[in-house]
Structure 1
Amino acid sequence: MRERRKLTLRARVAVLSALGVALAVVVVSLAGWWLMHGRMYDHLDRQVRAQTAEAARAATPEDALRLLHSVDELPDNWSDGDVPDDAAQLLVQVGPPPPVVVRFLDNRGDVVAATAGAAWLGPVGSSAAAVAESGTGEDLDDAGPDDETVYRVHTAPRDGGAIQVGSRVIGIEGTLDDLRVLLTWIGLAGAALAGVVGWGVARTGLRPVHRLTGAVETVAETQDLDSSIPVTGRDEIARLATAVNHLLTALAASKAAQQQLVQDAGHELRTPLTSLRTNVELLRYADAQQGSGKVLAPDDRARLLRDLGIQAEELTTLTTELVELAAENTDPEPFGPLDLADVVHGAVIRARARWPQVVFAVSATPASLTGQPGGLSRVVLNLLDNAAKWSPPGGTVRVRLSTTDGQAELTVTDEGPGISEQDRPKVFERFYRATAARSMPGSGLGLAIVAQIVRTHAGSVVVGTASGGGAELRVRLPADHAS
């Protein structure tokens, strides 16, 4: 089945503008029509009441009609087209309805005298008969054949019964019909004009959006993240363009960081791979020379194999840390409630197994917070590995966890040489290794991973000097209020 084509934004704006104006015109027209209807009938009701009061002084209906001067003041502009279809037979029998009709009723509500055209009023209603019988009150009602409104009839008490004065309303209804037609055409014209104006306004208003879209499409095609979109004005479109520029800047920074990571990783991988290749080629060469009697000494062979194991371990560590660093960016671990003390104790158990020659002294109080269990475990373990690596055999790595001012504070100190002042600002950079550390195993990523995960948890990590002269690394994380 063919998918139905959707309207463009410009067309939707034009259609919605037309519908909005049409709705407004309909509401205003209906309100105006009903207001006019009420005003005209209120005026007619006041007029017919005044006529009834004047006619009540007359002795006969004809005298009442002459008293009202109805022939002079209410000219008969009647035409056959004004008559409802259901009243055609009555028109033939009694002629057109006069402007004013007067009827006298007795005290039982029966008609005793009437002027010409009284047949148009129809039979006396029960409310009018009640006025005649009681001699009090009044009645104001519509009258005409077959439920058609031809007259507005007012009934008032008089001596011996009641008087009825009917004023013709067909002229009013004709005026209201003309007004209805006029308002309908005005509404249609207004809706059409609103559609045209809405189309123009949408075209003009969306022109900056089209320019912005074109600029974004150009960036997508060229992959040039360093380009920026021109921003003019201070309206919503300008804010959107500014936001897109900020997005391009962030993407460019992310792309540059990716490229830098690849370059740094390639540089760091090149050293162990070169060493591995050299040692492997040396072993192959030694094996190839066995036929000539040149045999590699067992101590040299054992040293080469030991170096190969160390280099393979360094390569494995570097690869693992690179994978962890990339996974932290692309597939972040979900946050959840945890006790940092449990994470610390678990990491210490693993560190003791990896560094049996170092003593780990732990002092941890419960610290509840919301975080990534795996990420925080890597933070603690990396800090412990770094401290153990620099501690001398038999040295002590002290781990202390406490909560202060709504923050969990983790401090790891060692008994090594410490970190020099010039190296402290750079120890958390990727692949950075101090001069004293270049002869030791490591990739320069451990503390960079620590800094990245701590930033993810809205925390901070700083480097200092322990009381014994070694390095001190302090991590602060926001703790839950319940802790």
Structure 2
Amino acid sequence: MTLLPGRWWRARTLHARLSLLVTGAVGAAVLLVAAGAWIAVREIQQHQVLQELSSDAASIAANPDQWLATESSRTRDTTGHPPWGRGGPGGHGREIGPCWQILDATGAAAGGSRTTLPVTDTAKQIAAGSVQRAVQEKITLGQDSYVMLTLPLADGGAVQVGMDEDSSSRVLTAFAALLALGCAAGIAGAAFLGRTVARAGLAPVERLTSSVEDVAVTQDLDHPIAVQGDDEIARLGRSVNAMLAAIDASRRAQRTLVEDAGHELRTPLTSIRTNVELLLELERRPELAHRLPPEERAKLLADLDAQVRELATLTTELVELAREEATRETVEPVDLADVVSAALDRVRIRAPGLTYDAALDSVTVSGRPGELERMVVNVLDNAAKWSPPGGTVQVRLSAAEPGWAELTVTDNGPGIAEEDLPYVFDRFYRATAARSMPGSGLGLAIVAQTAAQHGGTVAAAPATPGTVLTLRLPT
């Protein structure tokens, strides 16, 4: 199956992709430099040819009669040079040519070298004086390509000088071949360099990968990955260590929750099992029914009902506490005053014998309405549980300072002992005074977790009398 370029590229390893990138970048640079060098040499050669043609044409145009009067001006010696050798009548000390000729005003050749140059229409116009500038043309003589320059003479006519391009082409071809060999060697070296760079650059990544794979196999989260330096790989290593620490903390919290839940569930389950076994025994042996009077049986059934309810409440709270997101609601702007009002309506039904003194300012926070309401209900339930019959629970909501909403709930109960204050938000913690009262020790733990999930805090402090719980949430 043929892979598309994108899919083929994604199918390569990072090592292969980095090697290919380095090879491609260096190879492209080598090719660009080679192409630039070839173009520069070609331009230099063409400039030199034009300069030499212009110089030769100017030398002849300076004294055309002397050139025409020279005997055997169309005759060359066996070396291919004019009879006067490598210098012309002007004694310039270098070869003029290799071919030249002088045209009269009609465009006819008046004399020149053995190789006759073609008289083009442009050359005739220059000789006739219609064009008063030098013109460069490309011509073909036999199988050779020539560059011809036609220069007008002051008294009419023109000078033509031609030069064979084959020698320049051979030089350019040889230079191109050398550049091609150099490019091939450069790209091969770039490939080797790319592999070396990829191996050296990815060595820290490979070490990090090996360490993470070891952690995945051994499940050992207690030993962080060794990190050195301050580069991007070191930053990645520190991020992995932070992630491993978070996973370890989550695993420890999960283990603690399971252990605490097992401990807390064991007591009501044992009591329920004992009571149920007693009732089953009486059903199997009716002759023993007199040992459990009707009023004792009714009390036992009521205890079973209370224990089952407590077990259901505990199970619900455990699920809420263990869930990473307490609700699937989306985060949205919420008027906290509406949330507290709804929570007050629910708690008034549960504890009708109490008075709730509420003063609520409208404060908007970002959060999940259902989760926030459950948090406030738990705080109010806690205050109702500790308040004496006919007591008053004071509820205040305001913007304590810019950017923060503050909710305080104050009861007039016996208060929390000073030694219990640091632990009231721990899971399953129940103060000595609370162990004779219904509850699981999870209500305030859920409050603390919900506040933290919303970027807030919760604190407990003694009041006169009772206890004040303070919730702070960012607006």
TM-score in terms of structure 1 length: 0.85
Q: Residue 191 of structure 1 corresponds to which residue in structure 2?
A: 187
- State yes or no: 1:46 paired with 2:51: yes
- The SS at the match of 2:64 is coil
Cα distance, 1:359–1:162 mapped onto 2, change above 3 Å = same
Q: Distance in 1 between matches of 2:121 and 2:149?
A: 11
2:434 pairs with 1:428: no
**C-alpha spacing 1:147/1:390, structure 2 compared with 1 (3 Å):** farther
Q: Assess, with a 3 A threshold, how the Cα gap between structure 1 residues 131 and 472 changes in structure 2: closer, same or farther.
A: farther
Amino acid at match of 2:58: A
2:404 to 407, 411, 414: 407
Shift of 1:385: 0.9
How far residue 334 of structure 1 moved from its aligned partner, in angstroms, is 2.7
Instruction: Report deviation, 1:127.
Output: 7.7
* 8 Å contact from structure 1 (residues 131, 138) kept in 2: no
In structure 1, how many angstroms separate the alpha carbons of the residues matched to 2:304 and 2:57? 124
Equivalent residue runs for 1:49-198 within 5 Å? 49-56=54-61, 57-59=63-65, 71=82, 72-73=85-86, 99-107=97-105, 111=109, 113-119=111-117, 122-126=118-122, 129=125, 132-134=128-130, 136-144=132-140, 149-198=145-194
Q: Equivalent residue for 1:27?
A: 32
- 1:314-355 deviation digits (Å, cap 9, x = unpaired): 111111111111223587643112211121111111112222
Unaligned runs of 5+ in 1: 75-97
1:156, 1:446 → 2: CA distance?
A: 109
Say if 1:146 and 1:436 are closer, same or farther in 2 by CA, change over 3 A: farther
For 1:10, the equivalent position in structure 2 comes to: 15
* Gap change, CA 1:19 and 1:125, over 3 Å in 2: farther
CA contact under 8 A between 1:143 and 1:153: conserved in structure 2?
no
Q: Which amino acid aligns with 1:50?
A: S
Q: Which moved further from structure 2: 103-112 or 304-313?
A: 103-112
CA contact (8 A) 1:61 1:103 kept: no
Partner of 1:339: 335
1:431/1:15 Cα in 2 relative to 1: closer, same or farther (>3 Å)?
same
> In the aligned structure 2, how far is the partner of 1:293 from the partner of 1:263?
39
What do residues 173-223 of structure 1 show as CA deviations (whole Å, max 9, x unaligned)? 211111111111110111112112322332333333333222222221222
Match of 1:419 among 416, 419, 424: 416
Opposite residue 417 of structure 1, the aligned amino acid is P
Label 1:2 to 1:171 Cα distance change in 2 as closer, same or farther (>3 A).
closer
Deviation track 1:442-469 (CA, whole Å, cap 9, x = no partner) reads: 1111111111111111111111233x41
Relative to structure 1, the CA distance from residue 285 to residue 265 in structure 2 (aligned partners, 3 Å threshold; closer, same or farther) is: same
Determine if contact 2:138/2:145 at 8 Å carries over to the other structure.
yes
Contact 2:102 / 2:160 at 8 angstroms: preserved in 1? yes
Counterparts of 1:451 and 1:331, CA distance in 2 = 16
- Note the C-alpha offset of 1:436: 0.9
How has the CA–CA distance of structure 1 residues 20 and 125 changed in structure 2, closer, same or farther, with 3 Å as cutoff? farther
Match status 1:465 vs 2:462: yes
1:249 aligns with 2:245: yes
With over 3 angstroms needed to count, the CA separation of the structure-2 counterparts of 1:257 and 1:102, relative to structure 1, is same
Contact 1:336 1:371 in 2 (8 A): yes
Write out per-residue CA displacement over residues 76-125 of structure 1, whole angstroms, 9 at most, x where no aligned residue. Answer: xxxxxxxxxxxxxxxxxxxxxx9432233344656554432234xx4525
- The one-letter amino acid paired with 2:457 is S
- Change in CA separation of 1:419 and 1:158 when aligned onto 2, cut-off 3 Å: same
Residue in structure 1 matched with residue 443 of structure 2 by the alignment: 446
Residue by residue over 1:278-325, the C-alpha shift from the partner in whole angstroms, topping out at 9 and shown as x without a partner, is 222233334445324625222222221221122111111111111111
1:269 Cα deviation after fit: 0.8
Deviation per CA, 1:256-291, whole angstroms, max 9, x where unpaired?
Answer: 111001001111111111121222223333444532
CA offsets 1:99-158 (integer angstroms, 9 cap, x no match): 432233344656554432234xx4525387257533623323333369974224243443
Cα 1:303/1:455, change in 2 over 3 Å: same
Change (3 A) 1:366 1:478: same
2:126–2:157 contact (8 Å) kept in structure 1: no
- 8 Å contact kept, 1:335–1:370: yes
Give the alignment's Cα RMSD to 1 decimal.
2.9
Report the secondary structure of 1:401's partner residue: strand
3-state DSSP of counterpart to 2:129? helix
Match in the other structure for 1:396? 392
Q: Tell me the amino acid that sits aligned with residue 15 of structure 2.
A: R
Alpha-carbon shift at residue 384 of structure 1 (Å): 0.9
* Alpha-carbon distance in 2 for matches of 1:436, 1:106: 131
What is the identity, as a one-letter code, of the residue corresponding to 2:304? L
Q: In 1, Cα distance between the equivalents of 2:326 and 2:376?
A: 22
Using the alignment, how far apart are the partners of 2:323 and 2:461 within structure 1? 29
The residue aligned with 1:236 is: 232
CA distance in 1, matches of 2:404, 2:342: 21
- Tell me if 1:297 matches 2:293: yes
SS in 1 for 2:395: strand
Q: 1:438, CA displacement in angstroms?
A: 1.0
Name the SS for the 2:324 alignment partner.
helix
Aligned partner (choices 272, 276, 280) of residue 280 of structure 1: 276
Structure 2 CA distance for aligned equivalents of residues 61 and 267 of structure 1:
123
> Is the CA contact 1:62–1:115 (under 8 Å) kept in the aligned structure 2?
no
Matching residue of 1:95: none
Task: Please give the secondary structure, in 2, of the residue aligned with 1:397.
Answer: strand
How many angstroms apart in 2 are the aligned matches of 1:326 and 1:275? 25
